[in-house]
Chain A
Amino acid sequence: MPPGDQRLRIQPVEVELRRLQRRFHDMVAVHDLSLVVGRGEFFTFLGPSGCGKTTTLRMIAGLLQPDVGEIFFDGRSVTGTPPWERNIGMVFQNYALWPHMTVFDNVAFGLVERKVERGAIPGLVEGALSLVGLEGLGHRLPSQLSGGQQQRVALARAVVIQPALLLLDEPLSNLDARLRVQMRNELVKLQQQLGITTIYVTHDQEEALMLSTRIAVMHRGHLVQLGTPQEVYERPADAFVADFLGGANFLSGTIRGVSGADVTVSLQSGATLRASAARNPEAQPGDSVTVCLRPESLELVEPGSPPGSANVLDGTVRMRNYLGWVMACEVELTGGVAVRVQTTTPRAHLRFTEGGPVAVRFHPEDVLLLKNAS
């Protein structure tokens, strides 16, 4: 255990957002947002740019005021509290290290502002630096560090003040792919070690799925879904979530009947498919639905299955992208709808060539039915 660890005594906080709303000019950036982030949780706001996730984070930090709504830390309203009184650690997308200060001074900044006893500062700073693996680099200027090191300084600066809450605004987006994966792992370790309530903002679904205890998926200022990584991936609330997390093919259909373990759906193209009733408990006969199929759950098979076979759809290979470890295909189904198919065993499927006939097959458990708004 690094020596700095004993020094950092974090009292994690519970964060509640109640009906937060914020607009910029005519655009509503955050729309009636309510949720609770539990003590010690690693909570992620996930969504495309402009979805309101960073605006939300900045409101939690106090850098922006909500137009409507309140924010509570441990049940105490902090809505009007300025950022410097919220006891928050924050890592910015561009790290925001002060270029005129050394690494030491950057990390010590918050301690100085908190009037920590002068003699205690070097120990605390060195402790925080060793926590992120930068011991002994205190005398450097930020410009003398690599991107990954700057990232770590930003992290040390955020946690050295023993904040009740850690806010991370796309902290990994400026790193190259390899470093990003490494930092991701270190971030998880650090968060668990400190037990600090952490709110993370990203547009990267992989980061969100890997890091988070829970994910809030946002779209155009709305909270679209809130759940564990598994929940949002396996049971997306709507087509947007399904497509944003992992990607999906969408087909229109109508539920014909529900019997025992099976839900029968007829597609617009006339074909019929079976879905698992366990995965689609809300399915009602007559519902107009969007059938959602993950590319990786589709399998390429020989065409010409006996008529009436469920969950086999004939089509033509339109495009084939061979990447070695996976192969992605675009198949145009009879009836004109195109679907993406991804297989992790490319060699077994090389016989399906572009322009040639093919069929796609899938299990009823992999069929997700999203009810269309009436």
Chain B
Amino acid sequence: MSVPVSHPAPAPLPLSARWRTSVDPGHAALAAILFVILGVFVVLPIGAVLKIALTSDSGGLTLAHLARFFTNPLYVESLINSLLAGFWTVAIGTVLALPLAFIVARYDFPGRMLIVTLSTLPLVLPPFVGAIALVQVFGRAGTVTLLLQDLFGIHVNVMQGLRGIILAQALHFFPFIFLTVTTALMNVDRSLEEMGQMMGARGWRLLRRVVFPLVLPAYAAGALLTFVKAVDDIGTPFILNFKNMLGPQAYLRITTVGRDDVDGYVICVVMVVLSIACVLLSNWIVSRREYATLQTGARSPEGGRALTGWRKAAAPGLCALVLGIALLPHAGVVVMSFSRIWSLTYLPSAYTLNNYAEIFLRAPRFVVNTLLYSVGAALLGVVIAAAIAYLLQRGRVPGKGLLDAVAMMPIALPGVVIGVGFLRVFYNMTLPGTETSLASTWMIFVLAYMVRRLPYALRASHAALHQVHASLEDAAAVGGAPRVRAFRRVVLPLILGGVVAGGVLVFITSAVEFSTTITLVSRIEQSPLSYGIYIYSQSPLGRGAAAALGVVAIVIVALGTYLANRLSGRGRMAFTL
């Protein structure tokens, strides 16, 4: 007998039931804690900077300070210099990166993977470390400068002023463009190109009409990232002693004129606006790029086309040349770290291990501090990031989107701005029960690094958790595992690699952090190795020790990068639904 069912009027839902379905009290408590942490360490500092820059003497909102920025010749010159540095870094980086990217993505030749690997190496070296070596190679009495003088009688100092900064930054940042463009090229469906060929476009026309438009968004994103990084980097200007740029000016105003000087904060706001504009522009461009990546079908296989004739030698040759130039600073730093005397000669005239004795035995604090701060920042960052990622993907609580937005904010904040904001907020905040200012303890570095690199950790946690479909947890629950056990047996093993990889990323980027560091350092005993490099490099006799610290930085970052790649590697985590 069939039973047709009638539909009685729905019973009204009790209020408590509606509450139960929308919010999980545990999640809400976690979200509240995270909001407090992010509020204090992200919103408060940046809010303080904005408030001072935009508040008039009478307390009202004003743009007068900002307007005054544009009447000060020094500031205007600094702005122009920063923009120029960013622009030329992108331009030179493009010239270095694009040919390399096209050759590597399109052609198969011996040593191809080696080039891909080596081309990421410049990322490993903080630009200000490379700057020291570049002075030694291209500077007034550098190896190349001397060679040119002896051979041809020409004297050019490439490292003079803004030129030097641009060269150091371009050699350091071009991999951002290289990597994004290479990835995009490899993702372009080969059939799109073949279609273009069948329509009659060949060679240059094919590149211009089909390939360029498809990889343009990726290029734009890489270029904008490079621009932001170049403007953000204040280490290179400091090492090369060219301070008429935005970052150094902000730092100098705050540290020499004083924490209450409005101009420092105004410069910070200008930097933030510039940076946010680039990030928004980049996001907008990337969000429009579906047409390039939605194409399914055969991706370019691992091996590209084979090269023929003269190109067989030319392509790897060109790659080797570009990489040779880009890796020059690395070689320079290593040689310098072993040099005792290196002045007015092509290579050092005397070698020593003394520089390493200096940094490991006589003044080990730089390395020790760096490890302490970076490990602390990584641990803290990973826990906070994993919690945010979990709430965002699984949480039943309102406001989680805002949580994510706030945690990602630092990605658009220049390091010097974070430093200034921290100084402003925490200088007058004492540790409970003591007279010590929070800003003068070592913890301030841990917190500032954590905030600055939180977006990296968050992205890693996000990606890791995203791999774990919610049904895997459901299956564990139905299978008999209570929540905590399901997390331990199923979720944790699956996300651990990715989350730890995010932590390693925080660790290595913190280990070579300079912009925030220099703003926050109040005593030499507290300084990490990035500041140590700066201090040593200020005296001719300290350059060897600075280079030795640079080598330590390179080793830390190289090992960390390798580890992060291993941990987040696909392998057994390739779980796609």
Which A residues contact B (CB, under 8 angstroms)? 19, 21-25, 28, 31-32, 58, 61-63, 65, 67-68, 82-84, 86, 88-90, 92-94, 96-100, 109-110, 113-114, 141, 143, 157, 161, 167, 222-228, 231-232, 235, 237-238
Interface centre among B4, B474, B478 (most CB of A within 10 A): B478
Q: How far does the Cβ of B2 sit from chain A's closest Cβ, in whole Å?
A: 4
Can you identify 8 A-B contacts, CB atoms within 8 angstroms?
A: A67-B20, A82-B477, A84-B477, A98-B472, A98-B490, A161-B479, A226-B2, A238-B4
Does the CB pair A96–B4 fall under 8 Å?
no
- Assuming A25-B22, A237-B4, what are 15 further A-B pairs, CB within 8 angstroms? A31-B10, A63-B477, A63-B478, A65-B20, A84-B481, A86-B478, A88-B478, A92-B471, A98-B472, A99-B494, A100-B494, A113-B480, A113-B485, A223-B5, A231-B2
Q: Given A23-B13, A67-B13, A157–B479 Cβ distance below 8 Å?
A: yes
Does the CB pair B475–A96 fall under 8 Å?
yes
| B482 within 8 Å of A (CB atoms) | yes
Which 5 residue pairs across A and B have the least CB separation, nearest first?
A113-B480, A237-B4, A231-B2, A96-B471, A99-B575
Cβ-closest chain A residue relative to B21: A67
Does the CB pair B21–A84 fall under 8 Å?
no
CB neighbours of B475 from chain A (8 A): 90, 92, 96-98, 157
Does the CB pair B4–A225 fall under 8 Å?
yes
- State in angstroms the CA–CA spacing of A178 and B476 once bound together: 30
CB neighbours of B485 from chain A (8 A): 113
| B572 within 8 Å of A (CB atoms) | yes
- State in angstroms the CA–CA spacing of A232 and B2 once bound together: 7
Q: Given A94-B577, A161-B480, A65–B21 Cβ distance below 8 Å?
A: yes
Does the CB pair B2–A237 fall under 8 Å?
yes
Does the CB pair A83–B490 fall under 8 Å?
no
Interface residues of B in 70-102 (CB under 8 A from A): none
| B3 within 8 Å of A (CB atoms) | yes
Does the CB pair A19–B471 fall under 8 Å?
no
CB neighbours of B22 from chain A (8 A): 25
| B362 within 8 Å of A (CB atoms) | no
Cβ-closest chain A residue relative to B467: A99
| B573 within 8 Å of A (CB atoms) | yes
- State in angstroms the CA–CA spacing of A110 and B573 once bound together: 22
Which B residues contact A (CB, under 8 angstroms)? 1-5, 7-8, 10-11, 13-14, 17-18, 20-22, 469, 471-472, 474-482, 485, 489-490, 493-494, 572-575, 577
- State in angstroms the CA–CA spacing of A86 and B1 once bound together: 32
Does the CB pair B474–A96 fall under 8 Å?
yes
Q: How far does the Cβ of B125 sit from chain A's closest Cβ, in whole Å?
A: 36
CB neighbours of A90 from chain B (8 A): 474-475, 478
Does the CB pair B472–A96 fall under 8 Å?
yes
Does the CB pair B21–A22 fall under 8 Å?
yes
Does the CB pair A68–B11 fall under 8 Å?
yes
- State in angstroms the CA–CA spacing of A95 and B256 once bound together: 64
Instruction: Give which listed residue, B8, B21, B478, B575, contacts A23 with CB less than 8 A.
Output: B21
- State in angstroms the CA–CA spacing of A232 and B5 once bound together: 12
CB neighbours of B575 from chain A (8 A): 99, 143
Q: How far does the Cβ of B397 sit from chain A's closest Cβ, in whole Å?
A: 14
Does the CB pair A67–B18 fall under 8 Å?
yes
Does the CB pair A19–B11 fall under 8 Å?
yes
Does the CB pair A143–B474 fall under 8 Å?
no
CB neighbours of B7 from chain A (8 A): 31-32, 222
- State in angstroms the CA–CA spacing of A161 and B481 once bound together: 13
- State in angstroms the CA–CA spacing of A63 and B476 once bound together: 11
Q: Given A19-B11, A113-B485, A67–B17 Cβ distance below 8 Å?
A: yes
Does the CB pair A63–B482 fall under 8 Å?
no
Cβ-closest chain A residue relative to B479: A110
CB neighbours of A68 from chain B (8 A): 11, 13-14, 17
Q: How far does the Cβ of A78 sit from chain B's closest Cβ, in whole Å?
A: 13
Does the CB pair B21–A113 fall under 8 Å?
no
Interface centre among A82, A88, A109, A225 (most CB of B within 10 A): A109
Instruction: Give which listed residue, B5, B11, B14, B474, contacts A63 with CB less than 8 A.
Output: B474
Instruction: Give which listed residue, B2, B13, B493, B572, contacts A141 with CB less than 8 A.
Output: B572
Instruction: Give which listed residue, A61, A84, A225, contacts B5 with CB less than 8 A.
Output: A225
Cβ-closest chain A residue relative to B575: A99
Does the CB pair A231–B1 fall under 8 Å?
yes
- State in angstroms the CA–CA spacing of A100 and B574 once bound together: 10
Does the CB pair A99–B573 fall under 8 Å?
yes
Cβ-closest chain B residue relative to A100: B493
- State in angstroms the CA–CA spacing of A160 and B11 once bound together: 40
CB neighbours of B572 from chain A (8 A): 99-100, 141, 143
- State in angstroms the CA–CA spacing of A114 and B477 once bound together: 12
Q: How far does the Cβ of B396 sit from chain A's closest Cβ, in whole Å?
A: 11
Q: Given A110-B479, A227-B2, A237-B4, A96–B11 Cβ distance below 8 Å?
A: no
- State in angstroms the CA–CA spacing of A317 and B179 once bound together: 61
Does the CB pair B574–A143 fall under 8 Å?
yes
- State in angstroms the CA–CA spacing of A159 and B353 once bound together: 68
- State in angstroms the CA–CA spacing of A58 and B477 once bound together: 12
- State in angstroms the CA–CA spacing of A21 and B12 once bound together: 10
CB neighbours of A25 from chain B (8 A): 22
- State in angstroms the CA–CA spacing of A19 and B11 once bound together: 9
Cβ-closest chain A residue relative to B496: A100
Q: How far does the Cβ of A292 sit from chain B's closest Cβ, in whole Å?
A: 14
Instruction: Give which listed residue, B10, B20, B489, B573, contacts A21 with CB less than 8 A.
Output: B10
Q: How far does the Cβ of A245 sit from chain B's closest Cβ, in whole Å?
A: 12
CB neighbours of B1 from chain A (8 A): 227, 231
